[in-house]
Amino acid sequence: MTGSRGTVLVTGATGLIGRQTLIPLVQRGFAVHAVARHVPTLSRRGTTWQNADLLDPTARAAVIDVAKPTHLLHLAWVTAHGAFWEDPANDAWLDASQDLVQRFVAAGGERVVVAGTCAEYDWTDASLRKGRCIELTTPCVPTTRYGRAKLALGRMVAELATSAASGRVFLLYGDGEAPGRLVPSLIDNLLKGQSVALGPCELERDFLDAETAGAAFAALLASEVTGPVNIASGKSRTIADVAEMVGSLIGRPELIRIGARPGRPQDPPRLVADVNRLVGEVGFDPAFDLRDSLSAYIERRRLALGAA
């Protein structure tokens, strides 16, 4: 099966971002070969699934041989909530990714896009206190194992593939994320009538829903843009803004205790993306309505909690 735009191999296809790329990729004319450790029972039209553990070199060879992809969207990585920052598996994934990309290129693959992270940037850079993370000018000095591995991944694919890009992801939320992350934990606790203790919430962040992020990755893959591209909204919102919006939508704002927990000194006061490359070069507008998106997400989690 080959689409009009070619065949794309999507790794991490059941993850927070991966699941949201499948429909946009099909809509853009790609035939999609989706890879995951656990294949879903239901498959959408235009998508072929492969069950594989990409840390296994035999499995890496097999997915390339079966799919014969022209494009590679590599999203699989270690994602255990909280632990991923310093997990030694970051190094294993970097090695596995290099092998996967080398096999893809050797088989005639044309374009590679990988998932990067805002943690690649130098969070201590003074310009970020008032400015934005700009892909080609903001210094990259990651302080975590995860950030260093992702920065190395982007540089590696640029050397191995003729056409390669890295989507630097900022703060995402949506279906499939770990329940301990900020937005789902906030929603679930408030839905249960439980109070939520948060740290200092004046920190400015760039929030984006995973559905928009998935569409952005599909657009990036379909483009000819190379190098790092921020996958973000480009809008600054404090954590308090988001928490209070969730509390208002659920009708339990009194349960949110802002400042009840100490802050972490390593957290940057501001982490907001410049999205000029995404909008101007890729041609993708990441605009979305945060309130509507959170409202829909709350209802999906409400249904999930009721079914549990």
pLDDT grade, residue 40 (50/70/90)? confident
Mean pLDDT, range 39-67, rounded to an integer: 89
> Above 90 in pLDDT, residue 71?
yes
Of the candidate ranges 8-22, 32-46, 184-198, 275-289, the one whose mean pLDDT is the lowest: 32-46
Instruction: Indicate the DSSP class of residue 127.
Output: G
Structure tokens at 106: 């050797």
* Model pLDDT for residues 147-193, shown as the tens digit of each residue: 999 999 999 999 999 999 999 999 999 999 999 999 999 999 999 99
Would you say how long the chain is, in residues? Answer: 308
Residue ranges of domains in the chain: 6-176+208-234+272-288
pLDDT value for 205: 95
Considering the chain, what percentage of its residues have pLDDT values greater than 90?
Answer: 84
> Above 70 in pLDDT, residue 2?
no
The whole-angstrom separation of Cα 286 and Cα 126 is 26
Report how far apart the first and last C-alpha atoms of the chain are (Å, whole number).
Answer: 38
Rg, the chain, Cα only: 19
In contact, 278 and 231? CB cutoff 8 Å: yes
Of residues 3 and 91, which shows the higher confidence score?
91
The per-residue DSSP string of 295-306 comes to HHHHHHHHHHHH
3-state secondary structure 263-278: CCCCCCCEECECCHHH
CATH of domain 6-176+208-234+272-288: 3.40.50.720
The whole-angstrom separation of Cα 73 and Cα 109 is 11
